[in-house]
Structure 1
């Protein structure tokens, strides 16, 4: 299980929410496979200053993937509604009392007129620093959740790839067991062609032809390289850190050897094994595309 935790998928989703005296924050992060790290942000106008810090946090924790980050901020009705500045209203009331004493006939202002006086109605003030701090913390929580999700998905990918590596090793062992049969079949085919053509070759020439045929049919080197590539894939799966590009390269090398094996195939059994190898390698290649 520890090995699979070293493999991270690039496909995941995370959400984190928090409510406070100032309102509510929600962070969503979703990522898909991409050759490089490609972050995108959707932030409220009042919190756009956060983008550089959030972008740095992503680059510190992630190496690859197209990552879409959205931050929503909503204030409650109490903070959206205007409030009465009681101190300012008291100042106006004191001034009106003085006027009333000096000019008893003066008409007192209406309630609406009082509300329209400068400084009487004020918007609720929000603690911007507290909101920024809460947003950063919440983004960190969502990023932790995203990385955990990528690790869980990566574990599943590692299991699928390992199962196919085991199947590749089985196919390589099968072809290796067929090598004597392959070489004997090639020898028999050459002798049959010579017989049908009524051609006689001197022993040295015949031996040279047989050696040439054996060299063309010998896939021992390709099998060795296939085995080496399989072991390197296993080793990479155990390594920490990003490994997707390296694994993608190894899939290309595995496919190259499988194609060579197929081109040298002279018996139905080895042809079937070569085809199965290419199917298994293509399945692994598709899974590797999602690995960070």
Structure 2
């Protein structure tokens, strides 16, 4: 879910930049920083980002400035200056004072005649329509999603390598299983020879316990289910739609089977292989957090 997208437009009237950053998050956590004249567009922008990005801790910064030339050419409000000058000229006439250049300078000092930069940008929406700026948001979102897609391709390769490693370890367990069973059989035969010599030996009860013990040692079903989960995980990771939650669930089921194999194996070699499988599975789970 990590991503970055930026879009910029420079004209003789304004400079506009939309920058979007995204980090991992289970839900969409969106933070907007908009110029004042776009505050009424916040809901529209939120809906647009939510539909496009789905999840992630997202920061969107919309920067809007006007070039210095555009700010300085209109610093003087001609209508306000003319109105102020004529008003002062009329007052001077009533007082019998001759209007001069000082009258013009006095008019320039009156409020509203010379506009500050903030006053000039107070209502830029009159000059720049939202429809002209909206494509910048779309462009930044497209760049961010392309960033995510590129990262996702690399991430997919990495995750599949971990899954393949689990598959190899499972094959090692499968190859070692006959040896494990033989070791268990030998141990049982040794114990059996000792127990049958005991005066209170109950053959029926012993047979029931042996069957129960052997059933608990059988890991065939767990191996079949685990290999099935591995295949399903590989298929799901290549799906075009968001599948992060499904992958997390499959990984959870994989962990369940691995734990059961470890608890039933009663064999040091298998236990070591199970530890390695758990390590690879943890790597898978860590990277799943980066997938939508």
- Using structure 2 for the length normalisation, give the TM-score: 0.83
Alignment match, 1:51: 42
Cα pair distance change 1:255/1:105, threshold 3 Å:
closer
What is the correspondence of 1:219-234 to structure 2 with a 5 Å cutoff? 219-234=219-234
Q: Which has the higher contact order (CA 8 A, sep 6+)?
A: 1
Deviation at 1:188, TM superposition (A): 1.2
What is the correspondence of 1:247-266 to structure 2 with a 5 Å cutoff? 247-266=247-266
Matched positions, count: 283
C-alpha contact 2:89 2:99 (8 A) present in aligned 1:
no
Correspondent of 1:17 among 8, 20, 32: 8
Cα pair distance change 1:158/1:269, threshold 3 Å:
same
The runs of 5 or more residues in structure 2 that have no matched partner are: none
- Mapped to 1, the partners of 2:266 and 2:87 lie a distance apart of 109
CA-atom RMSD, angstroms?
A: 3.1
Deviation at 1:272, TM superposition (A): 1.6
Deviation at 1:226, TM superposition (A): 0.5
C-alpha contact 1:165 1:230 (8 A) present in aligned 2:
yes
- Mapped to 2, the partners of 1:179 and 1:105 lie a distance apart of 114
Deviation at 1:106, TM superposition (A): 2.0
What is the correspondence of 1:271-286 to structure 2 with a 5 Å cutoff? 271-286=271-286
Deviation at 1:285, TM superposition (A): 0.4
Alignment match, 1:7: none
- Mapped to 1, the partners of 2:269 and 2:92 lie a distance apart of 112
User: Deviations 1:119-176 (Å, cap 9, x if unpaired)?
Assistant: 7545657752525334321111111110001111111111111111111111122212
Cα pair distance change 1:209/1:116, threshold 3 Å:
closer
C-alpha contact 1:24 1:73 (8 A) present in aligned 2:
yes
- Mapped to 2, the partners of 1:24 and 1:288 lie a distance apart of 39
Deviation at 1:220, TM superposition (A): 0.6
Alignment match, 2:75: 83
